[in-house]
A = this chain, B = another copy of it.
Amino acid sequence: MTRLVTAAILGSALCTAQSADNTQPASSNVRGAPYPRIHPDLRVTLRYRAPEARKVLLHPGGPGLAPADIEMTKGDDGFWWVTTPPAVPGFHYYWFLVDGAIVSDPASETYFGWGRQTSGVEVPEPGSDYYSPRDVPRGDLRSRWYLSRTTGQWRRAVVYTPPDYDRSVRARYPVLYLQHGAGEDERGWSTQGRANFILDNLIAEGKARPMIVVMDCGYANRPGEQPASGGRAGGTPGQPSAFEDVVLNDLIPMIDATYRTLPDRENRALAGLSMGAGQALQIGLRRLDRFSHIGAFSGGLRSFDAKTSYNGVFADAAAFNKKARLIWFGAGTAEEAQHKGALALHKSLEEAGIKHVYYASEGTAHEWQTWRRSLKEFAPLLFRNTTTIQGGSR
């Protein structure tokens, strides 16, 4: 620990450089914060200053940082210190439990998850830069507020427009609607997921078609309506949820009126992770008149029956295969329930003769690295059969 403490004393001089001991500040830190620090073997050292606390724990917000709470050790400097075991690469939520109270790390940027702004640490994946900014043409990430008629409230959508959007002023683009998980919001896919960098890089490599990506908040309530438990797309069976109404009646019309979209079902995809995967399947399979490509990342994959599930949409395999351009689902091998669910669905759909793509992310759990990889695999398969209208007039 001595060398780490020395590094801390050197302070902000270290904020971007690698230090003599080969540890480096996490890219998820606030500007100039020397901790959390990443070791070459992906252990993570964190600290928190609480001179008068009696007990401080590191609480990982996912299994990839550490499998359970770790007790921190008080130093002479008033800081509590901890070094994790080697972490799984990717983004991990965390916070401290200071004498039992939930406390954010002032040295971390904040990331909306678990229903609040938590701390997070980015553990680099050696040899992998598909979700990092590269010196390639870049799209814009736009915040767009809109007044929802369904909820009566202002909502904010985050909209990725591809690199050539502003220059090719007559081009129109297909649209992927991409949803976050429970406890997160419209910022998750760009901030934690780095969806914009993933798309910039895929498009630069010619691996994905230039597309617009719309990331909205998966929570919605009608005026006076009690929020559904966990905000899930539940509601009365057979009835659209408030979120479904937002997507179909507020969001899609706003996006099609504001951006140069290709506004037909062939050019519209719906995907999501965890809770958002359930929403993508619920809404997408119900409304194949509006969506042609569906992606379910780590969610919505349980207890499937090809004859009856999703209102029997899969019952006529030939008809379904003709209508749905892409059914894509997957999970990390380290998230047991979701991985088993995906495998079971894969088997059921194979038996039923339903075309689909199944994906397993090796070694990742119910965390963002699974979903970054899922997007990297999913996006190149989108909008491949549809007519390109690159030169069409508005």
Q: Mark A residues whose CB is within 8 Å of B.
A: 12-13, 15-17, 30-33, 48-54, 98-104, 106-110, 112, 115-117, 133, 135, 138, 140-147, 153-154, 159, 166, 169, 185, 190, 196, 217, 219, 224, 226-227, 258-260
The residue of chain B having its C-beta at the shortest distance from the C-beta of A49 within the complex is: B101
Given contacts A51-B101, A98-B103, 14 further A-B contacts (CB under 8 A): A17-B224, A32-B227, A49-B102, A50-B99, A53-B101, A98-B98, A103-B103, A103-B104, A107-B116, A117-B117, A133-B145, A133-B147, A140-B144, A142-B142
The answer to whether B106 and A102 touch across the interface, beta carbons within 8 angstroms, is: yes
Partner of A100, one of B17, B33, B50, B104: B50
Whether A52 contacts B133 in the complex (CB less than 8 A), given A13-B226, A142-B142, A144-B140, comes out as no
The answer to whether B52 and A115 touch across the interface, beta carbons within 8 angstroms, is: no
The answer to whether A116 and B30 touch across the interface, beta carbons within 8 angstroms, is: yes
Q: How many protomers of this protein does the assembly include?
A: 2
Partner of A52, one of B100, B102, B169: B100
Partner of A166, one of B115, B145, B227, B259: B259
The answer to whether B30 and A115 touch across the interface, beta carbons within 8 angstroms, is: yes
Which residues in B have their C-beta under 8 angstroms from that of A185? Answer: 31
Q: Enumerate 29 A-B pairs (CB-CB under 8 Å) in ascending A order.
A: A12-B227, A13-B226, A16-B153, A30-B112, A30-B117, A31-B115, A31-B185, A32-B115, A48-B101, A49-B101, A49-B102, A52-B54, A52-B100, A98-B101, A102-B106, A103-B103, A103-B104, A104-B110, A104-B117, A106-B116, A106-B117, A107-B116, A108-B117, A109-B117, A117-B117, A133-B154, A138-B146, A143-B196, A166-B260
Which residues in B have their C-beta under 8 angstroms from that of A106? Answer: 102, 104, 116-117
CB distance from A24 to the nearest CB of B (A): 14
**Nearest 7 A/B pairs, CB to CB:** A50-B101, A52-B99, A169-B169, A140-B142, A110-B110, A110-B117, A141-B143
Which residues in B have their C-beta under 8 angstroms from that of A33? Answer: 116
Most-contacted residue by chain B among A99, A116, A146, A226 (CB, 10 A) = A116
Which residues in B have their C-beta under 8 angstroms from that of A224? Answer: 17
CB distance from A71 to the nearest CB of B (A): 15
The residue of chain B having its C-beta at the shortest distance from the C-beta of A260 within the complex is: B166
Which residues in B have their C-beta under 8 angstroms from that of A154? Answer: 133
Which residues in B have their C-beta under 8 angstroms from that of A50? Answer: 98-101
A107 vs B224: C-alpha distance in the bound complex, in angstroms? Answer: 22
Partner of A31, one of B108, B143, B219: B219
